[in-house]
Each structure stands twice: as structure tokens, then as C-alpha cells.
Structure 1
Amino acid sequence: MPAAADLYNDIALGDAAGDVPGRLRRFFPGLAACTCAAAAAAWLSDHYAFPVILLGLLVGLALNFIADDERTRSGLDFASSHFLRVGIVILGMQVTAAQIFQLGAAPFAALLLIMAVTIGAGLAAARIAGQSPAAGLLAGGATAICGASAALALYDVIGRKRLPEAQFTLTLVGISLASAVAMSLYPVLAAKLGLTDKQAGFLIGASIHDVAQAIGGGYAFSNAAGADATIVKLARVALLAPVVAGVGLLLPLGREASGAPKRKLAMPWFVPAFLGVVALNSLLPVPIIAAQFALALSKALLLLAITATAMRTRLELLVSMSWRAGMPVAAASVASFLIALACAVLVA
């Protein structure tokens, strides 16, 4: 008979234990703890209408002491990296080439300009605040594309050696807060400014970070604005792979032990996989129920990855960071709104 178990599944299974692969047993404690924390965040989000990504971060940070036990580390590491990559690939099922073409040449060019200005604002703010360029690149890139999921993808390329995990977690918190505020504020500002449905849809879709919140903000203005915001936002999501690939190519390469530059480029496998899924989704009709299931699965995997990342973060390092560490996210968010507003008036 099984013995009593503690939080980390320290359980004696008798003869049955030999039937479970050792590798899976090594991952299980961390994955179980991460899943419970993510489920708690999802429950709170469902009952209190609060952004689930932000709640996943907060619950994960509150439970960061779990990572002190070495039995949980393998599972948390697995969730924060592998779940992220698979979730990004599945997210490609929400984008098609037809949606991007539907946007039109001028709005698409304006979208590229908005993204470039947003990334530039993040880099400039990081320089002014005395932060590393990697912090500005992460904040600007995540704000320009699709929020937390883009931040996770970019950090996978940037790496912990260039940017401490505490700075990454703070960036995630800042992006989630900014997106939650934007979803409530931008539709109101668009109405006060007298924007048309098309202009409001472009503004909201081009400036709000998170996919669900951008679409929700658009429909909060009007149904027509919501439809336009969806197209604009999905076009931004489609640019995730090119931006991550570009960052991987532009970052300085590492060096071999001999001192010679490494020939292998920092190109994660999920970038071509994401593009492949987008291409497949563009060529073959996908049933609506399959697309909805893929979206739910992608969001669940990304929530698990974010929660695991928060649980692995050393809270004392996060608390010790000054207000300057949040400047890149703030500057990128303000720049994104202002340039998107100008483009909405001129182009949309």
C-alpha cells in the first residue's frame, strides 16, 4: 500500500515504483507543484476577472520557496523551457497568411514602424536607466509583439548569462500589468479622442500586448473595432518568429574554448516550427473546434511556463532591484501607444 506523501510526492510505491521511468519520477515533483500553482491562478482569474498571466506570476513568486528543494528543480526547469516552446509553436495555429494580407500594405508597414519604435524606446530607456541592452531588447520586443509569450521566446534566445532571471521576471510582471491597464484604458481613450471603429481597432490591436486582452479591448469599443483589432493583433503575433530569429542572429555569438567564434547561430527550433504551423494553417482548413482547442492548449502551456519561471526566481533578488529596472517596459508601452495612435489616425 502507498505510504503517505508530502508536498513533493516523497512517496513509497513499493513494487509499483519500478514500473515508472526514473526520468519521469525526477520531473514529477516540480511539474506537480507548477500545475497546482497554475490551476490556482486560473481559478482566481476565472472568479475575479483578473489577468491569468499576471496571477500565474504572482502565485509562482509566492511559492518560490518550493524551488529550494532540489527534487522540484528538474520539473520546474522542464516546464519553464519545453512548455514555452511547444506553446509558442501551437500559437501558430491562430495565424494565417490571409489574415496578414487582409491587413493591407500601408497598415502592415505602419505596424512594422510601431514595432521598431517600441523596441527602440525599450533600448533607449534601458540605456538611460543604466540597464543592460538585453533588458531593453526584452522589454521592447515583448511589448511590440505579444507580451508575455514574446518575452518568454526572446528570453530563450537572450539567455540567463546576458540577463538575470530576476530582471526577466520583473519584465514579465511589468508587461502583464501594462497590458491589463491598457485593456481597460485604451478603449476609453479611443472614444474620448473620437476615433472611428477602424482607427480604434488598429490602435488597440497594435498597442496592447496580450492577444486576449487586445481582442477584448477592441470588442469593448465596438464589434467592428474588435474584428479589426483581432486582425492587427494576429499580424503582430505572426511577426514573433522573424523578430526572435533576428535577435538570435544579431546577438554576439559565443566562443569556443580555443577563442574562435562558434559557427552555430542562436536559433531556437521553435522559430521554424512556428512558421511551419502558420504555413500549414494557411494552406489547410482547420476546424474551428480544433483552432479553439489549440488556443486553449497554447495558453495553458504558456501559463505553466510562466508560473514555473516565477517559482524558480529568487525573490530577494527581485525585491532588491530598483525602480530603474522597470523603465524599459514603461517607456516601450508609452511609445507603443503614441506611435500606434499616430498611425491609426494617418493610416487606418
Structure 2
Amino acid sequence: MPVPRSFREPGPDLPGRPGRLLPGLATAAVALAAAFLVHRLVPALPAMTLAVVLGVLAANLPASGVWTAGRARPGLDFAGKHLMRGGIVLLGLKVSIMDVLGLGWLALVLIVAVVAASFGGTYLISRLFRLPPVTSLLVATGFSICGASAIGAMAAVRRIRHVDTVLPVALVTLCGTLAIGVLPLLVHPLQLSAPVFGAWTGASVHDVGQVVATAQTAGTAALGIAVVVKLTRVLLLAPVAALAGAHHRFAPRAGNAADRDNAKLPPVVPLFVLGFVAMVGLRSTGWLAEGWLEAGAALQDILLGAALFGLGSAVRIRTLLHTGGRALLAALASWFLIAVLGLAAALLIAG
């Protein structure tokens, strides 16, 4: 059976022909402006989630679908891969080691335990639903750490094809959006205080923007602790990526000795992950003025938003319905598991 065009491995980016990228990058820029406009009008809708949704719409509407699968495809693939890495680097400017340490050692241990249990549990659930190992790995990474950013980082570390990140990004966006609507409805039935709800949101919702959209419904007390708990999870992106890179580099691989010797080994820690760590260190020094931090956050939103639109524009709903039924069930089961783990940790952290 031929592979649908939108799910084929994109060709290499050709630096000598930058004109190939312009149509797709321009399309992403227009879509991103629309996402920011809608977010400004309806703050409860995160701009990053809107970028993915607009990408999916662009891929599945007749006229725009031809465009995103044709002339715009090289630029959209470039955005989904390379701009994603730039956004991950700048994500480090949101994480301060001082804020993380301010949670206390018990909270830090609990957050690490939740991430580890979420990762292992989500991977196991995905495999039980017979998802491929690569898809299971990416879903587990995105659900347990920081959504699409973590999926992009893991894909780069493990040399996973860009096309294989499409389904995991769609699932993590769907479940993160589900949390925005569902978690606030449970505050009163579960009799949660604002700090506990904030800690629960930070420990269980996937993307930073989705955490903010969810936690702000319970006020500033919930939002403050939610962001710190979430950014502590984000900080774990670096060691998880390093461990994945070391395993991929040194673990035995199939094939004959000549093939293994000739294979280009990936770095243990990619440069963009080192850049993320460097930005965390820079933010933690306190040297950067608030204006620089705001500029970095704005640029990060632009890069990640364009990347997410590019990834969303590769999703074909018809193909997803035929191939992603089991994946959707696995994602919902994993979402429930992480919500339960996060609530247990939140009750211990802020209860």
C-alpha cells in the first residue's frame, strides 16, 4: 500500500535552495498570527494548541490541503524539525533553578517520581495497545515531560524520522486540550484548594501553555505553583534526553558489523539540549533583565508555534482514523494514569 504523501519521510533540507522553504514558512507565519489573535481574544485557548489545530485544519480542508502537501511542504517540514529545536533552547529561559529548589526536596522527589512513573506507565500502556516502539517512546516522552517540545527533543536524540512525530504530537495536543476543559470541573467535587489544584495541573498537564490555561481558572495562587511544578518537569528534559542519547549510542544494534561501524552515531547530548541547559543556567543567574526574558519568551512562542503548525499540517484525519484508533485509546488511558499520579503528588506537595 503506498504511503500517503503527508506521512512520507520528507527529503533533506537544501541550504542551497532556500526558496523552497519560503512558501511553507510564510504559511506558518500567517497561521501563527491567526493563532495569537484568537488567543488574545480568548485567553483560555493556548496559542500553541491553536497552532496545531490550525495546522490540522489546513491539512484537511480541500484547497489548503493541496497547498500544505505540495509547495508549502518543504518549509513546513523545516519548521517542524529545526524551528522546534530553536524553541526548545529558548524554553530554558523560563526555568530558574532557584524557583525549582524553592519547592523543597520532598516536592522535587515527588515530581521526579511522577515523571518516571508516567513515562514507564505510558510506554507500557502504549505497547499493550500494540503501538510501535518508536510511537510508544515519543508518546511517553511527550505525556510525561512537556508535550510536543519533549517529543521533538526525543525524536532528534534517537534519530527518529520527522514523519513519525506527527501522531504523538496530535495525541499529546488532544489530551492536553482535554485537561483544560476537564480538570477545572473537578475542583469542587474533589474539594481541592487552589494550591493543590495548581500543583495537580503542573504535575499532570502536558504543555506549558495548557498548564497556564488550566491553572488560571483557580486564581493566581494556583497559577503560581502550577508553573513552578510544570517547569520542574521541563527541567527533566535534559537528563532524559541525555539518557536516551547514551542508550541509542552505546546499546547493541541489529545488523552486521560493517553496517554498525559505518553508521553515523548520534551525539550523546545534542547541541540544542546543551543550549537548553545553558539557557536554564543563564536564567538562574538573574543577570537577564525582565525585558530580555520577555523577548526570549516571545521568540520561543514564535518558533514553537511555527513548528507545531508544521507538524499539525502533516496530520490527515482520514488516515488518523484508520491508523490511530488504538493510539487514541492508549493516549486516553495514559492521560487518566498521569492525572491520578499527579493528583496524589499534589496532595502531598500542597495539601
TM-score class normalised by the smaller sequence: 0.7 to 0.9
Structure 2 equivalent of residue 288 of structure 1: 290
Give the gaps of 5 or more residues in structure 1.
1-20
- Could you tell which deviates more after superposition, 122-131 or 73-82? 73-82
The CA distance in 1 between the partners of 2:165 and 2:320, in whole Å, is 10
Number of aligned positions between the proteins: 324
Report Cα offsets for 1:299-329 as digits up to 9, x if no partner.
Answer: 1111101111233455554342141022332
The equivalences for 1:206-221 within 5 A come to 206-221=203-218
Q: Structure 1 residues 102 and 311, CA, compared in 2 at 3 Å: closer, same or farther?
A: same
The CA distance in 2 between the partners of 1:216 and 1:73, in whole Å, is 31
The answer to whether the 8 A contact 1:60-1:308 is kept is yes
Report Cα offsets for 1:48-98 as digits up to 9, x if no partner.
Answer: 5534333322322333322443x4343223212221111111111111110
The answer to whether the 8 A contact 1:171-1:329 is kept is no
Q: Structure 1 residues 25 and 146, CA, compared in 2 at 3 Å: closer, same or farther?
A: same
Give the gaps of 5 or more residues in structure 2.
1-14, 60-65
| AA partner of residue 345 (structure 1) | L
| AA partner of residue 146 (structure 1) | C
- Could you tell which deviates more after superposition, 260-269 or 80-89? 260-269
Structure 1 equivalent of residue 142 of structure 2: 142
The equivalences for 1:327-338 within 5 A come to 327-338=329-340
Structure 1 equivalent of residue 309 of structure 2: 307
Counterpart selection for 1:50 from 22, 45, 55? 45
The CA distance in 1 between the partners of 2:123 and 2:134, in whole Å, is 8
Q: Structure 1 residues 73 and 225, CA, compared in 2 at 3 Å: closer, same or farther?
A: closer
Q: Structure 1 residues 32 and 123, CA, compared in 2 at 3 Å: closer, same or farther?
A: same
The answer to whether the 8 A contact 2:170-2:312 is kept is no
The CA distance in 2 between the partners of 1:210 and 1:24, in whole Å, is 31
Shift of residue 103, structure 1, vs aligned partner: 1.2
The answer to whether the 8 A contact 1:136-1:328 is kept is no
Report Cα offsets for 1:185-244 as digits up to 9, x if no partner.
Answer: 223323322233332221111111121221332232232222111211111111122222
2:216 is the alignment partner of 1:199: no
The answer to whether the 8 A contact 1:123-1:136 is kept is yes
| AA partner of residue 244 (structure 1) | A
Shift of residue 297, structure 1, vs aligned partner: 1.3
The answer to whether the 8 A contact 2:95-2:283 is kept is yes
Counterpart selection for 2:57 from 50, 62, 67? 62
The equivalences for 1:1-150 within 5 A come to 23-48=17-42, 49-64=44-59, 65-69=66-70, 71-150=71-150
The CA distance in 2 between the partners of 1:194 and 1:178, in whole Å, is 23
Q: Structure 1 residues 276 and 127, CA, compared in 2 at 3 Å: closer, same or farther?
A: same
Q: Structure 1 residues 62 and 230, CA, compared in 2 at 3 Å: closer, same or farther?
A: closer
The answer to whether the 8 A contact 1:99-1:231 is kept is yes
Instruction: Report the 3-state secondary structure (helix = DSSP H, G, I; strand = E; otherwise coil) of the residue aligned with 1:195.
Output: coil
The answer to whether the 8 A contact 1:218-1:226 is kept is yes
Q: Structure 1 residues 58 and 199, CA, compared in 2 at 3 Å: closer, same or farther?
A: closer
The CA distance in 2 between the partners of 1:276 and 1:33, in whole Å, is 31
Length-normalised TM-score, structure 2? 0.83
Q: Structure 1 residues 253 and 58, CA, compared in 2 at 3 Å: closer, same or farther?
A: farther
The CA distance in 2 between the partners of 1:188 and 1:156, in whole Å, is 37
Structure 2 equivalent of residue 229 of structure 1: 226
The CA distance in 2 between the partners of 1:120 and 1:312, in whole Å, is 28
Shift of residue 275, structure 1, vs aligned partner: 0.2
Q: Structure 1 residues 299 and 266, CA, compared in 2 at 3 Å: closer, same or farther?
A: same
Structure 2 equivalent of residue 346 of structure 1: 348
Length-normalised TM-score, structure 1? 0.83
The answer to whether the 8 A contact 1:140-1:328 is kept is no
Q: Structure 1 residues 202 and 38, CA, compared in 2 at 3 Å: closer, same or farther?
A: same
